[in-house]
Amino acid sequence: MTAQPYRVLARKYRPQTFAELIGQDAMVTTLGNAIKRDRLAHAFLLTGVRGVGKTSTARLIAKALNCIGSDGQGGPTIAPCGICEPCIAIAEGRHIDVVEMDAASNTGVDDVREIIEGVRYSAVSARYKVYIVDEVHMLSKNAFNALLKTLEEPPPHVKFLFATTEVNKVPVTVLSRCQRFDLRRIPSDTLGAHFAMICDAEHVEAEPEALALIARAAEGSVRDGLSILDQAIAHADLDGGGLVTAVQLRDMLGLSDRGALRRLFGLVLKGDGQGVLAALAEQHDLGVDPAAVLRGLLEIVHATTIHKVGAPNDPAQSVEERNALKEWATGLSFALLHRLWQLLLKGHDEVAKASDPREAADMAVLRVVHASTLPDPADLARKLESGVAIANPAPNAPDMPTLPATFEALIQLVEKAGKYLIAQRLRDEVGLVRYAPPEFAIRPSRPFDTRELGQVLKEVTGVIWQIATEDAPAQPTIREQELAAEAAAREAMLAQPVVRAAFEHFPETELISWSEQRSATQ
């Protein structure tokens, strides 16, 4: 006897009945009801990401339509018997009335013309002649146009089954002629249970955590997951009894340990720059892709935010992971979580494009470390409303003095200290470029001695200030702002109906400010 060639798990465990098709209950229910009520469409479009069962579903529909039952007297059914000649021939891919075409390699009008000519002839031995077109979006525009008329009014003995991963590339004229089914991604817990069943059938032992890692890496695709499982079984240490472990799987896929990622995220939140760099170096030594580390941190931020909202827990999460997410969701605000997400997302893009991904990852995560130690925006807004802002200290640094929240408040502080000339020049001659105490940049209208100003500010606030003069767009001076405010108030007053009436009756009336009146009386 010759040895049978090995069949990969993705082919060996391809579903042969709708009961074996996991994660698509809504579609199965719809098809079952359509068959029972004899309301079958003449064309079906199956769409979804790779590996969710589009081609398998198309073959199952072909079986369901042509099954004759074990006694040869059956009709269309959602539960094909699998033992009649049509079921066996369709499963083996040799039924003459079930034609499969790969549109990726048959894209032209001539290929479609063969279908158009073939539909005129009745099925040879089956109830329906079924055309399965995989990756239908690859057909050319002319090929689609040639198929339209036949697709709209096919003979009653013909059924079309189209499968595609990119439904947006299928013309609307084709979509309107088909009954569409969107096959869903398979949830991680469902995939994990499915892989565990296959391991039992293959007499392979696997750690639950390893199966959970495979389910996450599969991203909802059964075929991707089975391919990874196949590789993991081959990678398993034979000296250990062939056990598929999470440690071996991480080494095989270059995945980062979830626990290590949680520890790294904790270091980020503590502002421990040295600890963060050491953790990143450890991941690099283990062969983990820097981009994968950033993706893992993004997943943690996303999971924490979802947990804070109150969404149900992911069944694939461990108890330790759930406890950590609960703690972070309680202690972190939405504003900080969104800020961390944006910074990590930007860092991930930088790592993907960088010539040295490791260096880019270090800089990106250190930037996040700095952001995580900044005050909460809501607290900062409250401080600004009160007229003061606290300089952001580093972790474990001594307390910093209170600094003026605005440039105008800083000028008032200088004036209160008796430095009237400098305060007047700051008010009349300086446009503010930016202000972030203890640092700011100005654009003076005439030469300004920033060293003298720095000494004054150090005396007044007790802090060393960084002052720069820049030829950049700046705000109007404080004096110009005051004059503009007075002009706006004057215009608003003149626009009042009572004031306008007064000017109409008393043409010689003048509108003067309180300060002008006080100066006149003095």
**146 part of a folded domain:** yes
The tokens for 417 are 């200290």
Give the domain CATH number at 293.
Answer: 1.20.272.10
Q: What letter does residue 20 receive in the DSSP assignment? A: G
Has residue 281 been placed in a domain? yes
Q: What is this structure's pTM? A: 0.59
pLDDT value at position 298? 92
Which residues, at least 6 apart from 264, have a Cβ–Cβ distance to it below 8 Å?
A: 276, 279, 280, 283, 293, 297, 365
| pLDDT tens, residue by residue, 324-364 | 888 888 888 888 888 889 999 999 999 988 889 999 999 99
Tokens 């007229």 found at = 387
Task: Tell me, yes or no, whether 121 lies in a domain.
Answer: yes
- Check whether residue 130 and residue 24 sit in a common domain: yes
154 shares its domain with 202 = no
Is 386 inside a domain boundary? no
Mean pLDDT by 10 residues, the chain (522 residues): 74 87 87 88 90 89 90 87 89 89 85 87 88 91 90 90 91 90 87 91 88 85 89 74 80 72 88 88 84 90 89 70 85 84 91 90 89 59 51 44 83 88 89 88 87 87 85 87 81 76 73 54 49
Q: Give CA–CA dist 119/115, Å, rounded.
A: 6
Average pLDDT along the chain:
83
Residues 45, 165, single domain; the answer is: yes
Quick one: which of 214, 247, 344 has its CA closest to 292?
Answer: 344
**Domains identified in the chain, total number:** 4
Give me 473's structure tokens.
Answer: 């767009």
The residue range of the domain holding 358 is: 258-372
Give the whole-angstrom CA distance, residue 487 versus residue 465. Answer: 34
Within a domain: 145 = yes
Beta-strand relationship, 388-390 and 402-404: antiparallel
**Which of 231, 253, 275 represents a domain boundary (last residue)?**
253
Same domain, 171 and 228: no
Cα of 194 vs its chain's centroid, Å: 26
Structure tokens at 215: 């389910």
Q: Are 356 and 328 in contact (CB under 8 A)?
A: no
Q: For residues 346 and 46, what is the distance between their CA atoms, to the nearest angstrom?
A: 35
In angstroms, rounded to a whole number, what is the distance separating the alpha carbons of residues 209 and 439? Answer: 51
Nearest Cα neighbor of 328 from 353, 302, 362 is: 302
Residue 510 belongs to some domain of the structure: yes
Do 283 and 340 have their domain in common?
yes
CATH of the domain at 230: 1.10.8.60
Query: Which token pair is 224?
Result: 């991707």
pLDDT for position 377: 54
Show which of 338, 372, 406 is a domain's final residue: 372
CB distance 159 to 166 below 8 Å: no
Q: What is the CATH classification number for the domain harbouring 77? A: 3.40.50.300
Residue pair 119/129 in contact by the 8 Å Cβ criterion: yes
**3 state SS of 432:** strand
Closest CA to 404 of 316, 347, 463: 463
Residues 152-184 have pLDDT tens digits of 888 889 999 999 988 899 999 999 989 999 888
- Rounded CA gap, 325 and 265, in Å? 11
At residue 305's C-alpha, the angle toward residues 303 and 307, to 5°, is: 70
Structure tokens belonging to residue 259: 């626990």
Q: Examine the domain organization and report whether 230 and 341 are in the same domain.
A: no
Q: Judge whether 113 and 101 are in contact, CB under 8 Å.
A: no
What percentage of the chain carries pLDDT values higher than 70? 88
The 10s digit of each residue's pLDDT in 462-483 is 888 888 888 888 888 988 888 8
Are 25 and 151 in the same domain?
Answer: yes
Residues 346, 233 within the same domain? no
Alpha carbon distance 186, 350 (integer Å): 31
Q: Is 293 inside any structural domain?
A: yes
Cβ 297 vs Cβ 265: under 8 Å: yes
- Choose the final residue of a domain: 182, 202, 225: 182
Residues 202, 268 share a domain: no
For 244, which DSSP code? B
Model pLDDT, residue 493? 76
Residue 438, preceding bond cis, omega within 30 degrees?
Answer: yes
Distances (CA, A) of 511 to 489, 496, 517: 11, 13, 10
The enclosing H or E element of 386 equals helix 377-386
391: in domain: no
245/269 same-domain check:
no
Identify the pLDDT of residue 130: 92
222 and 171 in a common domain:
no
127 and 221 inside one domain: no
